[in-house]
Amino acid sequence: MRIGPKYKIARRLGAPVFEKTQTPKYALSLARKEKNDNKGRRKPKSEFGQGLVEKQKARYSYGISETQFRTYVTKALHSSDPVQKLFSILESRLDNVVYRAGLAKTRAQARQAASHGHIMINNARVTIPSILLSDGDIVSLRAGSASSPLFKEVEERMKTMTMPVWLKVDPDKRQATIFGRAVYEERENIFNLGAIIEFYNR
């Protein structure tokens, strides 16, 4: 997915939606921007505008195109709990699981690793970052890719990262197993999925 200037997009959305914007340098830039904005009047966003912003936050956080995101929302709207279903879909994407497990530093790197065939699902090599994983699936680093400089810090990263409860990792084997499903908690995320569902459900 092609995106524009990351600092500019993150400031517009008011959230660090890219790894690049999760730094002290960005925080300082954002503080300066907010100080300048407060000098004038800021028009409050409508309910539609707020929903649009939340959608963009989620899209950019996961690196998903508008078409893909709309497909996920449509699927979620057919469930009894659209908010939970949407979050479960987003979190179960292969690139997100690779990132959450510590097999990659960022989601962008995780997408690249999956696209280039460095990742295995249940011992089968894959090249599609958007594959949705299920309970019991095992994600691992391909043996032939273990010596690549891209993955030299994987074991240490997997040992030190705080893992979500639905993911069990084995740093020595460089693999992670899906254990249950991700549960959405609004306070733990920078986007509001409830507002997003309402945005699409108009």
- C-alpha distances out from residue 130 to 2, 6, 14, 64, 195, Å: 16, 22, 27, 9, 24
Note the residue count of the chain. Answer: 202
- On the question of pLDDT at 21 being above 90, the answer is no
The verdict on residue 145 lying in a domain is yes
What's the confidence (pLDDT) of residue 34? 58
Count of domains in the chain?
Answer: 2
- On the question of pLDDT at 66 being above 70, the answer is yes
The verdict on residue 1 lying in a domain is no
The verdict on residue 59 lying in a domain is yes
Q: 102 and 130 share a domain? A: yes
pTM attached to this predicted model: 0.81
Q: 106 and 167 share a domain? A: yes
What is the extent of the structural domain holding 59?
6-87+188-200
Contact 113, 104 (CB under 8 A): yes
The first and second tokens of residue 181, run together, are 């499903």
Looking only at the bridges linking them, the beta strands covering 167-170 and 124-125 are unpaired
Contact 111, 119 (CB under 8 A): no
- C-alpha distances out from residue 148 to 24, 55, 114, Å: 30, 36, 14
The verdict on residue 42 lying in a domain is yes
Contacts of residue 101, defined as CB under 8 A and 6 or more positions apart, other chains included, come to 139, 158, 163, 167, 169, 176
How many angstroms separate the most distant Cα atoms in the chain? 57
The verdict on residue 159 lying in a domain is yes
Q: 162 and 105 share a domain? A: yes
Q: 97 and 174 share a domain? A: yes
**Which residues are paired to 132 by β-bridges?**
93
Contact 61, 152 (CB under 8 A): no
In a 10 Å sphere around its CB, with 0-12 CB exposed, 13-18 middle and 19+ buried, how is residue 130 labelled?
middle
**Which residues are paired to 168 by β-bridges?**
177
Q: 108 and 169 share a domain? A: yes
State pLDDT tens for residues 140-189.
999 999 889 889 899 999 999 999 999 999 999 999 999 999 999 998 89
The first and second tokens of residue 31, run together, are 């503080």
What's the confidence (pLDDT) of residue 2? 47
Query: What CATH number does residue 76 fall under?
Result: 1.10.1050.10
State pLDDT tens for residues 68-101.
999 999 999 999 999 999 999 999 999 999 999 9
Query: Which of helix, strand or coil describes residue 116?
Result: coil
